[in-house]
Amino acid sequence: MQKDQNTQKLIIPYLLGELSPEEREKLEDQYFDDASLFEEMGMVEDELIEAQLNNELSGPALERFKEQFSKSARRENLDFTKALLSYAQAHSQFGTIAASPTPQVKQSGFRLVFKQRWAVATALVFMVLGGVSLIYLIRARREVNQLRNERAALEQRTRELENKSAAQNTRIEQLASELDRAREGIKQSPTPNASPELNVTERGPSVATGIVIARLVRSKNNRQILNVSPAASVLRLHIVIEKGNYQSYGVIIGDDNGEVFRHDQARPQQTLNAYFIVVEIPLRQLLPRHRYLLKVSGVDATGKTEDVGQTYFSFVKR
């Protein structure tokens, strides 16, 4: 039992890349030989992903998660889980599930040990994540009380994060610089014909791609100017946003005369350190050199919307 408890304590640190090489090798030797342990690790990874998608990770755990799941193979699992959750939540309102016939499970000694191992694992997961609700205890009342306490802590953290929006703006600007440097590298690629102008890369004869940053803090002086090829008929706009935790996003572009463009149900995407959404705007709907206000709102599972950022922008044809 002690050995099982020690092993369970290592699963999440392993998945977040925090174990020493010796501890890592020892756990790998174990899960290669133990099918139930291997399965448990897969389930814990899924639950870790769910915790992140439900904004239950913070601090070092969140940073480690982002680092580990920025890698393409693991990001595939993250993307798939996100898609499955979106689908399931969009198709909710099922009726009661009829009890499906399940195989009879003998309550052998092995199963009892497995259940005990699992109960210890969930308590240890809770300690390691510092309050993250990944508990599957048999007694539902204890779970609900613990979840209430955790929810209060999350709300407090949310208020703290909202007060740090200025620091986040600076980080986003740094990211924009990184994007510019990355774009310099793309210029070497044979496929895109990169424009030397800021923020825009041509993707073909009729589509221009641009990047803008939608900030929570309003600033009329902050206008982003995009240079677009005269031949372009569509502007594919990558909009960097500060909050990527909504199911979908709405984008409205307007000027003093009203709304000129709207796009609902934009899905968030992610690079190493930022979230962004993509919209395609027919350029015939916009005037060159005209100042437009772009607003982004997030839509949660209940349909409630919240402003997540805005920016002024205009474009010139060159």
Partner 1 sequence: MDADQLRKTGLTELAFNTLLARFDPDREIAAQKYQAVRLKLVRFFEWQGSTEPETDADKTFDRLARKLYGGEDITDIGSYTRGVARMIMRERIKADQKTQQALTEMTHHQVVSSGENKFIEQQSRCLDKCLDQLREDQRQLILKYYSVAGAERIQWRAKLAAEMETNLNTLRIRAYKIKRQLRACVQSCMQKGEGGGN
The interface with partner 1 within residues 259-318 (CB under 8 A) comprises 267, 269, 271-272, 278, 280, 301
Question: Could you write out the DSSP letters of every residue in 5-22?
Answer: HHHHHHHHHHHTT-S-HH
The site map against partner 1 for 158-187 (x = CB under 8 A) is: --------------------xx--xx-xx-
Cα-Cα-Cα-Cα dihedral sign, residues 127, 131, 132, 138: positive
- What is the crossing angle of helices 21-33 and 35-53, to 10°? 120
Considering only residues 64 to 83 of the shown chain, the ones binding partner 1 according to CB under 8 A are 68, 70-74, 76-77, 79-81, 83
Q: How far is the CB of 291 from partner 1 (least distance, A)?
A: 25
Tell me which of 22, 104, 105, 109 binds partner 1, using CB under 8 A. Answer: 105
Q: How far is the CB of 32 from partner 1 (least distance, A)?
A: 6
- State which H helix or E strand residue 236 sits in: strand 234-241
Q: How far is the CB of 131 from partner 1 (least distance, A)?
A: 11
Beta-bridge partners for 280: 236
The tokens describing 182, both together, are: 């990355």
Nearest Cα neighbor of 296 from 281, 274, 311 is: 311
Nearest Cα neighbor of 78 from 216, 227, 268, 225 is: 268
Tell me which of 2, 3, 104, 138 binds partner 1, using CB under 8 A. Answer: 138
Considering only residues 10 to 39 of the shown chain, the ones binding partner 1 according to CB under 8 A are 14-15, 17, 25, 28-29, 31-33, 35, 38-39
Find the DSSP H helices in the chain.
Answer: 2-15, 21-33, 35-53, 59-68, 72-90, 109-128, 140-162, 165-186
Tell me which of 2, 20, 92, 163 binds partner 1, using CB under 8 A. Answer: 92
- Nearer of residues 185 and 258 to partner 1, judged by Cβ: 185
- Nearer of residues 134 and 254 to partner 1, judged by Cβ: 134
Count of residues that bind partner 1 according to CB under 8 A: 84
